[in-house]
Homo-oligomer: A and B are copies of this chain.
């Protein structure tokens, strides 16, 4: 109580104020996800994805982990309890949004397909879908 977090609030909301970034967060869900899947699901060019992921990273909203050539991104639980509750509500909201549901369905399809698209051969699949 009595903290000064106005700047942190602005930072969080700016990070959430973009459709592409909301789609990325939606795809991460509760697991880390490889960049190549974001590119595949959002059907856009790779630099655009990387730029938005960098934006989220600078805002402290996601973290990155390298595994050989691949980079995995995952959502970071905000340290502040208010931010955490807002974030949790956002994720619930995303779960109920139709276009977001379609993105997640496409992710499942792409990951579980017997024959993966050329760009994804050998890419590390998300844990939640392979376990």
A→B interface (CB under 8 Å): 1-7, 9-10, 13-14, 16-19, 22, 82-83, 85-86, 89-90, 92-93, 96-101
A5: chain B residues at CB < 8 Å are: 93, 97
| Beta-carbon contact of A96 and B2 below 8 Å | yes
Chain B residues contacting A85 (CB-CB under 8 Å) are 89
Contacts of A16 in B (CB 8 A): 9, 13, 17
Per assembly, the copies of the chain total 2
Which residue of B6, B9, B98 is within 8 Å of A4 (Cβ)?
Answer: B98
Asked if residues A90 and B9 are in contact (CB atoms below 8 Å), the reply is yes
Contact in complex: A3, B86 (CB < 8 Å): no
The verdict on A82 contacting B92 (CB below 8 Å), with A97-B4, A97-B5, A97-B6 known, is yes
Question: Which secondary structure dominates chain A's binding surface?
Answer: helix
The chain B residue sitting closest to A14, CB to CB, is: B17
Are B6 and A100 touching (Cβ within 8 A)? Answer: yes
What B residues does A97 contact at CB under 8 A?
3-6, 9
* A96 close to B1 (CB less than 8 A): yes
How far does the alpha carbon of A80 sit from the alpha carbon of B29 in the complex, in Å?
22
In angstroms, Cα B60 to Cα A52, docked, is 27
Distance of A13 Cα from B13 Cα, bound (Å): 5
- Closest chain B CB from A68 CB (angstroms): 34
